[in-house]
Amino acid sequence: MTDHYDLVVIGAGPAGEKGAAQAAYFGKRVCVVERAPRPGGAAVNSGTIPSKTLRETALHFSQLRQRGLYGVDVHVQPNITIADFMYRERAVVDAEWQLIGENLARHHVTVVQGVATIVDPHAVEVTRYGEEPHRLSAEVILVATGSHPLRPPDFPFDDELGGGVVGCEYAAIFAALGVRVTLVNERSRLLSQLDHEASEALRSDLTRRLAVQVLLDAQATEVRVEGDDKKVGVVRLRDGTELVADCVLVSLGREGATRGLGLAEAGVRINERGFILVDEHYRTTVPSIIAAGDVVGFPALASTSMEQARVAVCHAFDLKYKQRLANVIPYGVWTIPEIACVGESEDSARQKGLNFEIGKASYRLNARGQIIGDLDGFVKLVFHREDQRLLGCTIVGETACELIHVAAAVLAFEGTIDYFIQSVFNYPTLGDAYKYAAYDGLQRLARRVTNTAGLPRVE
């Protein structure tokens, strides 16, 4: 027997869940097929939510935020166990499973557990261990199968050797708990896509505050396990140095989870990293098959995956709703310190030859920064020199990933830094730093005018 739906979604990660709910909201009959026992994909089960919860847990147990603030000495709490460390993560993941289940149920989405394979452009076969394959037909199929960590074939991965996690985030989490961490980075800068001051702030905090050994311009050429019980990891670097560790965590990027899905047979084109080729409406090379989320590659974030799926579904069913992915995308990095950016950085603006100025405000000069003891954070604005239109923003420090949305909104509405000058910000808040970054920007502009008039430069 074949069950017929308007939309069959493969995968119940962020893209699958939100794409399904979007179509169902507009009255479509939707079925989601998920091979894992629980929904949520990498975002809930292994990536985003666990790592962000573990970061909070590490900050709590290490009391890193409070160190030096109250005149009493605080350290990592002694005798904490792995169970203590994982307690909150389990609780949050449980709550997320529940919320996703409720969302799909509220939208009357049918959820089928099993492995889906596309058998023709309008049909999916679902297999479950010990059961006969079950066929679902659909007007549209949304592929939202996500991605896997990239695993170099000559690295001996096993259960002890994790792969594909965000190296800097995990380095910070473990270091906060007192684990001695060495971070091997191929490039000369950590997170080289970021503003150079943000990258440097991260390197400096990791080394100075968390005692992480950061090796830049270093490439791991070999990883092997040694010892009688195969419990020691040895990482060999290009220059011959060998690092010995209890655990080696490899995070070298990801590849599309498309193997065995039947895509090529159905006519869907994928690239050499397994990512599905799509157009700006997330249509694949087969008209009835759309794809969204990590499986289509960059930027491979939970935030964008959800939106891509909504846009994909709206186009597929000609729903006059979400027509495109927003062109302003904020990025968050939950290292210690937290980092967020949107639009141009000082570096990207320079590389593009834009006529720009920057404005910067330190958390040190901000009352809220003083209260919480984050004195190294900063807000840095990049704006057009002629009309003061905001071009981008980078924030380092507490709540950077929340604060960045203010800049994202100004960018989306093509606003100028005058927005920050004229606005009233709650006081004392870190948000108030936007105003002082804008003032600083205006002062830099004024100094530039003064300098061109031949007067002495004032810095």
The binding site for ligand FAD (CB under 6 A) comprises: 10-16, 33-36, 41-43, 47-48, 51-52, 115-116, 144-147, 164-166, 257, 261, 293-295, 300-303, 305, 332, 334
Query: Toward ligand FAD, which CB reaches closer, 275 or 356?
Result: 275
Output the smallest distance, CB 102 to ligand FAD, in A: 17
Output the smallest distance, CB 81 to ligand FAD, in A: 23
Query: Toward ligand FAD, which CB reaches closer, 146 or 392?
Result: 146
Residues 6+ apart with CB under 8 A from 80: 61
Alpha-carbon torsion, ordered 111, 116, 122, 123, to 10 deg: -90
Output the smallest distance, CB 243 to ligand FAD, in A: 22
Query: Toward ligand FAD, which CB reaches closer, 275 or 434?
Result: 275
Residues 6+ apart with CB under 8 A from 391: 343, 344, 349, 354, 356, 382, 383, 384, 411
Query: Toward ligand FAD, which CB reaches closer, 146 or 441?
Result: 146
Output the smallest distance, CB 65 to ligand FAD, in A: 19
Output the smallest distance, CB 351 to ligand FAD, in A: 25
Whole-number Å distance between alpha carbons of 457 and 447: 7
Query: Toward ligand FAD, which CB reaches closer, 172 or 300?
Result: 300
* Residue pointed to by tokens 């389990």: 90
Output the smallest distance, CB 352 to ligand FAD, in A: 25
Output the smallest distance, CB 270 to ligand FAD, in A: 14
Output the smallest distance, CB 73 to ligand FAD, in A: 32
Query: Toward ligand FAD, which CB reaches closer, 184 or 295?
Result: 295
Q: Which residues of 37-64 are buried (b: 16+ CB within 10 A; e: fewer)?
A: ebbbbbbbbbbbbbbbbbbebbbbbbbb
User: 287: burial class by Cβ within 10 Å (0-12, 13-18, 19+)?
Assistant: exposed
* Residue pointed to by tokens 């141009």: 344
Q: Is the dihedral of CA 432, 437, 438, 443 positive or negative?
A: positive
Tokens of 215: 């090796």
* Residue pointed to by tokens 């004392």: 428
357 has which bridge partners? 383
Q: Which residues of 162-184 are buried (b: 16+ CB within 10 A; e: fewer)?
A: bbbbbbbbbbbbbbbbebebebb
Query: Toward ligand FAD, which CB reaches closer, 11 or 392?
Result: 11
Query: Toward ligand FAD, which CB reaches closer, 184 or 333?
Result: 333
